[in-house]
C-alpha cells in the first residue's frame, strides 16, 4: 500500500479475535513503509474496553485481570475515552514485535521510551492494525530500564491470548529491544527533547 501522507490522521487499532479493543486516531509523523511514526496527544478521543476505562478512572489494577478474562471469553464492551496528560510518538514496525514510544509529560518534558510489545502492524485503508501483547519495557533517559506488566503477560499466556509462536517471537523481540538500548541505537540514539511535528 502507498505510505500515509505526513500530517494525515489515521486510525490505530488493537485487534483480537477480529474485533478492536482499542481505537485511537493518531497523526502521521513519518511513514517509511516498514516503519511508521504516529503522534497521540492529550485531548484525543478514542475508544477502549469499559473495564480498562474503569481501571484508569479508579486506579484498579485488579480490573486488568478481569479485562484479560473478558478477552478470553470474547466478551467485552467498548467505551469512549479521552487521552490524558502524556504525549506519545509510537514508532511501529511491520516486521518487529514491538513499538518504541517516546513519551512526554504535560509540560513537554521527555519522560522515557515505552517499549510496547505488540504484533507487527498491518495496513488498512484508513490506518493500521496491531495487537498489544501485554508486556512492556520502560527505558529511562539514562538508558536504565525496568519491565512492566510481567504478571499481566503471564496471565495472558495462561488464558490462551498469547499463543506459543507469539511467545517465541516476543522472546526474540525482548533481546532485540535490549540490544538497541545497550548500543543506544535506532530511536534510542535520537534527540527527543522536543515533541516532533
Q: How confident is the model at residue 23 (pLDDT cuts 50, 70, 90)?
A: very high
Does the pLDDT of residue 60 top 80, yes or no? no
Question: What pLDDT, on the 0 to 100 scale, is given for residue 161?
Answer: 96
Instruction: Name which residue leads in pLDDT, 197 or 101.
Output: 101
User: Using an 8 Å Cβ cutoff, are 143 and 167 in contact?
Assistant: no
What is the fold, at CATH topology level, of the domain defined by 9-189? FomD barrel-like fold (2.40.380)
- Taking the C-alpha atoms of residue 38 and residue 125, their distance in angstroms, rounded to an integer, is 16
pLDDT band at 65 (very low <50, low <70, confident <90, very high): confident
CA 126 – CA 114 distance, rounded (Å): 25
- Grade residue 118 by pLDDT with cuts at 50, 70 and 90: very high
Domain ranges within the chain, ordered by starting residue: 9-189
pLDDT of residue 55: 85
The stretch 108-137 carries a mean pLDDT of 98
Average pLDDT in the 83-101 region?
Answer: 97
Q: What span, in angstroms and rounded, lies between the C-alpha atoms of 33 and 49?
A: 30
62 backbone dihedrals φ, ψ, rounded to 5°: -65, -25
> For residue 185, what pLDDT is reported?
98
- Output the pLDDT for position 63: 80
- Rounded to an integer, the average pLDDT of 10-17 is 97
Amino acid at each position: 500500500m502507498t505510505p500515509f501522507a505526513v500530517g494525515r490522521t489515521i486510525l490505530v487499532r488493537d485487534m483480537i479475535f477480529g474485533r478492536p479493543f482499542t481505537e485511537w486516531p493518531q497523526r502521521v509523523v513519518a511513514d517509511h513503509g516498514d516503519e511508521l511514526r504516529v503522534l497521540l496527544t492529550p485531548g484525543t478521543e478514542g475508544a477502549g474496553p469499559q473495564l480498562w476505562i474503569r481501571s484508569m478512572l479508579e486506579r484498579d489494577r485488579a480490573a486488568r485481570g478481569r479485562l484479560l478474562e473478558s478477552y478470553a471469553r470474547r466478551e467485552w464492551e467498548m467505551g469512549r475515552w479521552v487521552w490524558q496528560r502524556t504525549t506519545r510518538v509510537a514508532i511501529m514496525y511491520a516486521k518487529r514485535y514491538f513499538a518504541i514510544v517516546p513519551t512526554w509529560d504535560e509540560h513537554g518534558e521527555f519522560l522515557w521510551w515505552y517499549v510496547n510489545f505488540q504484533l507487527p502492524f498491518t495496513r488498512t485503508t484508513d490506518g493500521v492494525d496491531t495487537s498489544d501483547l501485554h508486556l512492556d519495557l520502560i527505558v529511562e533517559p539514562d538508558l536504565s530500564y525496568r519491565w512492566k506488566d510481567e504478571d499481566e503477560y503471564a496471565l495472558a499466556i495462561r488464558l490462551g491470548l498469547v499463543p506459543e509462536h507469539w511467545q517465541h517471537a516476543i522472546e526474540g523481540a525482548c533481546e532485540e529491544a535490549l540490544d538497541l538500548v545497550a548500543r543506544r541505537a535506532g530511536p534510542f540514539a535520537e534527540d527527543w527533547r522536543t515533541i516532533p511535528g
